[in-house]
Chain A
Amino acid sequence: MLGVVGGRVYDPRNGSDGEIRDIWMKDGRVVSPEEVDRDRAEIVDAGDLVVMPGGVDIHSHIVGAKVNAGRKFRPEDHRGSERVRTGDFRSGSGHTVPSTHLTGYLYAEMGYTTVMEAATAPLVARHTHEELADVPIIDKGAFITMGNNHFLMSCIRDGRPDLARDYVAWLLKVSKGYAVKIVNPGGVENWKWGRNVGALDDEVIGFGVTPRQILDTLARVSDELGLPHAPHIHGINLGRSNSARTSIETMAGLDGLRAHFCHLQFLSYGKGKGSVHTSEAAAVAEAVNAHPNLTVDVGQLVFGSATTMTSDGPLQHNLHRTTGAKWINDDVEGETGGGIVPVFYKRTNPINAVMWLTGMELFLLIDDPWKVFLTTDHPNAGCFTSYPHVIKLLMDADYRAEVFAGIHARAREGSVLRDLKREYSLYEIAVITRAGPARALGLDRKGHLGVGADADIAIYQDMDDKAEMFARPRYVYKGGTLVARDGVVVADPPGRTFSVAPPYDPEVEKHVRKHFETTYTVSFENYAMSSQQLPHEEVIACG
């Protein structure tokens, strides 16, 4: 039993905007005061402190095949970013791509307690879950890439939406996934022919289907299955000068269906002079504001070192050609692909500067904080450890103006950012880093401090410098256990893995089994994961 008393509580879901409240916890949950024997409860004096639910990251690449390839091929990233083993805490290394245990520690030390791994090919989902088991403290889940899946595209081609629905349900179950992820629908398949897609009605080679059909099918299927999280979309034309237009078209094409658009910053550009795009964040934000069923995360660029990694194979090839940096590509049979390229974002580079301000503009121009969430698309646009810095940029207009003044002049020209004086409040920060993403994920016990919520709490010393404030919470509780104090991890209980198990017609397995003979080099029987292989699994209800 535990009480956090006298703190200024920012709990947007329950309408608390800095009011002084006491939070009581028992058996890992938030409980009503009557359930607690105060004489026996441990009391944390939160007087003068800011109390928030534990942070919820809706999109981060922290484990699995791509991330580990990124770790392996970037020893230069790890040196100087080591963690020494102390007591039972493991050592680790890595700046943009930290090792697994270190990843859990770093998130917890920042007050984050739930993180979603943003992309896993089902064929290697077992790998993802093996790594997740080595990420302590935080609760997590994995999104399953389906936007270039052969079986799914066949269902669309053959006019079998019912089979597509059953297949998605089956695939989520056997890969222990949490949501449908779509990355450059059709484009990754075409990349296996050395091509890409550039428009929503382009054809996917060999299937005769279009990106539009793939998006539409997966959005409808996600709804029909009642998945807790909407389809998680990385659209086509990412990084290109027509990406803003394409994003707006894609949103309109979804016809009011639920969707989450991830790292939208990378997809909000227009054509500028030469190779330097312009920010079209204003137009994209307007589209987001107009659609009631959309949420987005920003993928804010942070100047410094990053490791780009995505299932978007052709994009990564382009980035390799543009930067000349080393390049990993991995085509995955029947399902997807991917690439990795290290980058260094500079404020003096006009392209990088435009990317930075595009993200800022999205944050400031999307009206409803419940629709826009804080991410850096870790480690693509920046590290998750930069979140406190991004919070400072959002809460402190003077600081933002200072950074703006230091970026390349060509990026500043014509930018609306100089006129945006909006400052996020602590309440709004609690929305975009906790309550909002939890709601979008359909995680009912996360992102708030009402009775029944998980006892995940981050307690901060209020400071003028918000970056400093959010970098080192005074106390972080996970499931009622004190896991970090003054920004240093003090306990590392294992976290849970959230999955979904929507029902499906078992008939689909016959079709999939047949599909396996022609598409896969692993046996159908060796593809599915069982629940025994996931000791801390928690199935979240659909519908």
Chain B
Amino acid sequence: MSTTVEHVACTFCGCVCDDIVVELEGSRIAGVRRACSVGRGMIDEYDAKLRRPLVRGREVDWEEAVEAAVTILDRADSPLIYGLSSSAVEAQRKAVELADRIGAIVDTTSSVCHGPTGLAMQAVGEVTCTLGEVRDRADLVVFWGCNPSASHPRHFGRFSLTAKGTHTPNGREDRTVYVVDVRPTGSSKQADHFLQVDVGTDFEVLTALRSLVKGNRLRSESIGGIPMPRLSDLAERMKACRYGVVFMGMGLTMSRGRHQNVGELFTLVAELNEHARFAVIPMRGHGNVAGADQVLTWSSGYPFAVSFARGYPQYGPGEFTAVDVLARGEADAALVVASDPVAHFPRRAAEHLERIPTIVLDPARSLTAGIAQVVFPTASYGIDASGTAYRMDNVPIPLRALLVSGRPTDEEILDRIIEAVK
């Protein structure tokens, strides 16, 4: 029997598109419509087969796997809980509760992504809006250090480039679009203006823009490889627009200057509100990384890099961030939820993870699962589990279970671990 499920939310990226149509044949996914190629692949190719958990590579029952995980955490003096951004809010809440209870360090993928954005926000604030405001109002859109055509394929069509809204009835024609990046990208090809900045000079370019917006004249012929007339032109357009929006990505957060780049951009955006309405939206990557920030913040006061080792939350980017904790060899056990640090972390950090007992909760067989002592093949939120994910603009979107796979959720496993460590 085939059924059609509409308004399905895709959790691949921070767009959390919730207009996806999924065709089911029995309990098999037979077709996915409206999703981008990445999202379609994620849903379509999901293997919902019930698999048994592993302890040191050996298939065991769930009870035994929970016991093994609890033993690891009980023996640890300095456990690390990491990941969370591809899980749902319900599981994130449990992960933080567990961290609180066992005195763990808890960190999310934010720290290797938009962590610097969080630091900038804490320094200067953040003038932002929801994605619907972009679609309906934005007549000037700037993509800075991000490439949505590859990373967030439907972003242009749904929100920021061709999308038609109340005050942008002609879509693309009603918008002026800039891309600022260190190299041409798929996104820059679709922009009206591409400003290619020299590597590592974003801060200078942003400072120059702030100065130009304030009406200063700069003597340099170019800044960061961008001729002054083109920069002045951007500054003037920024001041003259109706509602401007900047989307920013890891080109700013993970290049020289990091949080200072972002702080400079956020300050520019705040100052532009003297002339026009202006907002900035960080291009969050993972489907629910914004939710991970939210949950950790409402539980502890801080968005990432939190240590509960002293019995109360302490915030320490650089100190309690997962890469640093692992590279210094400080963690003596790890619990990784829906993330693959072995694949993405610097070698020294990944190697330490291989040396210590690691527990993995993940629907997919990640590289980290390959080195882990305990692996829980959990359900995937939005496919065979329900929950909530927060979009990049912090709008919460409900995730429904399309299939009944019988796999436990991250939340259920974490809950059993919490009960056992009590």
* Chain A residues engaging chain B, CB cutoff 8 angstroms: 63, 65, 68-69, 71-75, 77-78, 82-85, 88, 90-94, 97-101, 123-124, 126-127, 130-131, 134, 191-194, 206, 317, 320, 326-334, 340-341, 518-523, 525-526, 533
Residues of A within 8 Å of B300, CB to CB, are 91-93, 99
Instruction: Closest A residue to B267 by CB, please name it.
Output: A326
In the docked arrangement, what's the CA distance between A340 and B299, Å? 20
Taking a contact as CB atoms under 8 Å apart, the answer to whether B132 and A333 are in contact is yes
B 265-306 to A, binary, CB cutoff 8 A, 1 in contact else 0: 000001001001101000000000000011001111111000
Taking a contact as CB atoms under 8 Å apart, the answer to whether A82 and B299 are in contact is no
Taking a contact as CB atoms under 8 Å apart, the answer to whether B121 and A72 are in contact is yes
User: Is B388's CB within 8 Å of the partner chain A?
Assistant: yes
Residues of B within 8 Å of A65, CB to CB, are 394
Taking a contact as CB atoms under 8 Å apart, the answer to whether A329 and B127 are in contact is yes
Taking a contact as CB atoms under 8 Å apart, the answer to whether B313 and A93 are in contact is yes
Stretch at the interface among B133-141, B216-224, B370-378: B133-141
Please, could you name 29 A-B residue pairs with CB atoms under 8 Å apart, sorted by A?
Answer: A71-B297, A72-B297, A73-B121, A75-B302, A77-B301, A82-B313, A83-B312, A85-B308, A85-B311, A90-B299, A92-B312, A93-B300, A127-B394, A131-B298, A134-B93, A134-B298, A192-B133, A192-B277, A320-B270, A327-B127, A328-B125, A329-B127, A329-B273, A331-B128, A331-B277, A521-B131, A521-B159, A523-B19, A526-B18
Taking a contact as CB atoms under 8 Å apart, the answer to whether B19 and A317 are in contact is no
For B101, B132, B394, which residue has the most chain A Cβ atoms within 10 angstroms?
A: B132
Taking a contact as CB atoms under 8 Å apart, the answer to whether B298 and A331 are in contact is no
In the docked arrangement, what's the CA distance between A91 and B398, Å? 28
In the docked arrangement, what's the CA distance between A523 and B270, Å? 31
Taking a contact as CB atoms under 8 Å apart, the answer to whether A71 and B7 are in contact is no
Taking a contact as CB atoms under 8 Å apart, the answer to whether B158 and A521 are in contact is yes
Q: DSSP class of A's interface residues: helix, strand, loop or mixed?
A: mixed
In the docked arrangement, what's the CA distance between A97 and B298, Å? 9
Residues of B within 8 Å of A521, CB to CB, are 130-132, 135, 158-159, 395
Tier of interface size on chain B: 35 or more
Contact with A522, one of B18, B294, B313 (Cβ below 8 angstroms)? B18
B 211-241 to A, binary, CB cutoff 8 A, 1 in contact else 0: 0000000000000000000000000000000
Taking a contact as CB atoms under 8 Å apart, the answer to whether A192 and B311 are in contact is no
* Chain B residues engaging chain A, CB cutoff 8 angstroms: 6-7, 9, 18-19, 89, 93, 97, 100-101, 118, 121-133, 135-137, 158-159, 165-166, 242-243, 270, 273, 276-277, 279, 293-294, 297-303, 308, 310-313, 315, 388, 390, 394-398, 422
Contact with A71, one of B19, B89, B298 (Cβ below 8 angstroms)? B298
In the docked arrangement, what's the CA distance between A331 and B159, Å? 15
Nearest CB of chain A from residue B98's CB, rounded to whole Å: 11
Nearest CB of chain A from residue B322's CB, rounded to whole Å: 19
Residues of A within 8 Å of B133, CB to CB, are 192, 331-333
Contact with A525, one of B7, B126, B159 (Cβ below 8 angstroms)? B7
Instruction: Closest A residue to B310 by CB, please name it.
Output: A84
Nearest CB of chain B from residue A65's CB, rounded to whole Å: 6
